[in-house]
Amino acid sequence: MTPLPDPTDPPRAGRVAAFFDLDKTIIATSSAAAFSRPFFAGGLINRGDVLRSAYAHFLFMVGGADADQTERMRAHLSSLVTGWDVATVSRIVEETLHEHIDPVVYAEAVELIESHHEHGHDVVIVSASGSEVVEPIAAVLGADHAISSRMAVEDGRYTGAIDFYAYGENKAVALRELAEREGYDLEASYAYSDSVTDAPMLGAVGHAFVVNPDRTLRRLAAEHGWGALTFSKPVALRSHLAGSTPALAAAGVVALGVVAWVVWRALRRRRRD
């Protein structure tokens, strides 16, 4: 099954896109933390940096990082990468991508991506992680575009400055800019995220879904009429693409849930009107 457009809506003039958050939405971890070991092995970080990254990852996974802690982590990461050789980072990500990302991809997310493509929708990966990490992952997933943070570079090395931080409201800004360039009809488009910080992105489209929501995010979704999905089956990406039957079956249930939610929302809108 594929997530069909709302059958009661009039035809749209623009194209449709599906915007996917990356960390804990498509993959069951933090993309930045996933590469801490290969960055250590490659000499980019030391053991203390690994421990600090592990703590930041723990806060991220349990949802315990507030705005101040998130800003401190952003500043720490900015300081951490200062002086890193960009080519070295890209090489490490490319060489270890399948080893560290493949096993933690949600089967349900991969099937939704495939479903959107089958229905002619563009797929856009949106992440606060750096472009050197996000863009290779997006390519493996078959995404059409990627929105990510961009670090300033001089003479092939990171300066520590951030040209664009794809976080919070900035995600929605970049989403709208991409929609303007590509001709996307945002009212007909979709967005998926696990994080309350992505509320601006979710609110920018007509069909928004929260993934594995905590109590706060579930309440926010109810207030805005957003759908709720549960992703629970990390699967090796290559085995999924080879045709893993259990993965396809589980993800098909999620796709069916998307269809049901869109139809239910349309009928409720018609009754209200």
What's the per-residue H, E or C state across the chain? Answer: CCCCCCCCCCCCCCECEEEEECECCCECCCHHHHCHHHHHHCCCCCHHHHHHHHHHHHHHHHCCCCHHHHHHHHHHHHHHHCCCEHHHHHHHHHHHHHHHHHHHEEHHHHHHHHHHHHCCCEEEEEEEEEHHHHHHHHHHHCCCEEEEEEEEEECCEEEEEEEECCCCHHHHHHHHHHHHHHCECHHHCEEEECCHHHHHHHHCCCEEEEECCCHHHHHHHHHHCCEEECCCCEECHHHHHCCCHHHHHHHHHHHHHHHHHHHHHHHHHHHHC
Question: Which of 21, 122, 194, 198 is the catalytic position?
Answer: 21
Question: Which of 23, 102, 122, 198 is the catalytic position?
Answer: 23
> Which amino acid makes up residue 117?
H
- Whether 21 sits among the annotated catalytic residues: the reply is yes
- Whether 23 sits among the annotated catalytic residues: the reply is yes
Catalytic residues: 21, 23
